[in-house]
Structure 1
Amino acid sequence: MTGRLSDSYFDDMYAASPDPWQLAERWYEARKYAITMAMLPRRRFRHAFEPGCSVGVLTEMLSQRCDRVTATDVARVALESARKRLSHGDRFDGVTLLQSSLDTPWPADVDLVVLSEVGYYLDAPSLRAVLARECPRLPRGATLIAAHWRHRVDDYPLTGDETTDIVAHTPGLHLQARYLDDDVVIGLFSVGATPSVAASTEIPGAFNPPEDH
């Protein structure tokens, strides 16, 4: 067992409220999701992995950009809410919901990993170990995006800034873009150096980055 908040912590949160972070209601969340989706460098992805999907608000958005989405959460109640949301929106085709945590093995053949408000539930050694184990399994050119609340939460082992710094120092990940304001930090990373959006879509004047050696 890695060092992270216990499953019972989240069970208690969802026992108190069906949407404890008000992911479906708060403007902060809607804005953060919009920025996250806008930063993704490709129009479509083959297979996204979203650990800590909660009630499925972001999962529904990802389902519109990805052929497949594997979304996980440790809380059964959260997964039930996500299932209802996706079923009502006719987005359930192509989405797999599993009761699991970030520190368990990631699904194979994913080309997009979305760490949205989940990395700081692990302590620093555990998060580094998970990333060191799983990121080398990602294919070259895969995208990893990490979005985290910047204000300190006493219950969480890490802050959003600390989480982002750990992701940024993971061997093999290259920073493509970064968004920062007082509330949220979002880092966009690729496995290996990859062309910019303009270069990959062959806009005149754009150039490719040097390849890794």
Structure 2
Amino acid sequence: MKPSESESVPSSFFDETYRQSTDPWGYTSSFYETSKFRTTIRSLPKVRFKNAFEIGCAIGVLTEKLAAKCDRLLSVDYSELGLEEARKRCRNLPQVRFEQMQIPQQFPTEQFDLILFSEVGYYLTVEDLHKTQEKIIDRLLPGGFLLMVHYRFPVESFILNGEIVNDTFIKESAPFLKHLGDPRQKSIRLDLARHNKRYRMDLFQRL
């Protein structure tokens, strides 16, 4: 699929992908994926989070690992087919809630001390990426953390690439998110940022 630069990749793309395979990206078998999940969990800045938000949970492999660090965890995905597998995988984890959600058009109203934005940004147009950025800043508690994890290189089904996605957040959110580091990986772009307590979202609207 060659994506359009004027419209974010629709949920129908992900539904069709899951119809072909229950694990189309090899989350349970790929060395890249298992290494990425391990690196992601190791990069969490705290041992425990009160209320976390995972954007793009797919079939819930990382969700299961992340849940061990969270009192509450809301995990969302574009595809209800992917969520069916995620619910099965995490059925014994009462702290986890799953919702079908089209980001950024839909976004939770609660606030979080951790937001995980992983392998999602490059399916968005630049416009939708900016909207997602604003909503993440708005819903992140003061002092809360944003962890972004994306594949570094271009892929045919991506609108953007991981470098563009993470750089957009780092450069354009500088007044609101303090960049805490980018442990460089060969294929993974991973960035951790913390919400700057001095700024409020209403200031963002006036810039």
| Interval of TM-score (by shorter of Structure 1 and Structure 2) | 0.7 to 0.9
C-alpha distance in structure 2 between counterparts of 1:175 and 1:106, whole Å:
24
* 1:155 alignment partner AA: S
- Residue 155 (structure 2) pairs with residue 165 (structure 1): no
Identity of matched residues, %: 33
- Select the residue among 124, 137, 141 that pairs with 2:139: 137
C-alpha distance in structure 2 between counterparts of 1:127 and 1:141, whole Å:
22
- Residue 150 (structure 2) pairs with residue 148 (structure 1): yes
* Cα shift at 1:62: 1.1
Q: Indicate how the Cα distance of structure 1 residues 136 and 109 shifts in structure 2: closer, same or farther if over 3 A, else same.
A: closer
Report if the CA contact (8 A) 1:69-1:96 is conserved. Answer: yes
C-alpha distance in structure 2 between counterparts of 1:13 and 1:189, whole Å:
32
Deviations 1:180-206 (A, max 9, x none): 22311100010017xxxxxxxxxxxxx
* Cα shift at 1:172: 0.3
* Cα shift at 1:101: 2.3
- Residue 9 (structure 2) pairs with residue 5 (structure 1): yes
The aligned runs of 1:2-151 (5 Å cut-off) are 3-87=7-91, 90-91=92-93, 93-103=94-104, 104-151=106-153
- Name the stretch that deviates more: 180-189 or 2-11: 2-11
* Cα shift at 1:107: 4.1
- Name the stretch that deviates more: 7-16 or 100-109: 100-109
Deviations 1:98-157 (A, max 9, x none): 011221223412110001101111111211122123313321110000000112112211
Deviations 1:62-87 (A, max 9, x none): 11000001001111111110011112
Report if the CA contact (8 A) 2:115-2:136 is conserved. Answer: no
C-alpha distance in structure 1 between counterparts of 2:124 and 2:64, whole Å:
25
* Cα shift at 1:162: 0.5
TM-score for the superposition, normalised by structure 1: 0.84
Query: Counterpart in 2 of 1:176?
Result: 180
- Name the stretch that deviates more: 97-106 or 38-47: 97-106
Report if the CA contact (8 A) 1:51-1:101 is conserved. Answer: no
The 4+ residue runs of structure 1 with deviation greater than 3 A are none
Report if the CA contact (8 A) 1:115-1:147 is conserved. Answer: yes
* 1:61 alignment partner AA: K
Point out where structure 1 has 5 or more consecutive residues left out of the alignment.
194-213
- Name the stretch that deviates more: 113-122 or 132-141: 132-141
Aligned length: 190
Q: Which protein shows a greater Rg?
A: 1
C-alpha distance in structure 2 between counterparts of 1:177 and 1:68, whole Å:
26
C-alpha distance in structure 2 between counterparts of 1:145 and 1:118, whole Å:
12
C-alpha distance in structure 1 between counterparts of 2:19 and 2:134, whole Å:
34
Q: Indicate how the Cα distance of structure 1 residues 185 and 134 shifts in structure 2: closer, same or farther if over 3 A, else same.
A: closer
- Name the stretch that deviates more: 169-178 or 154-163: 169-178
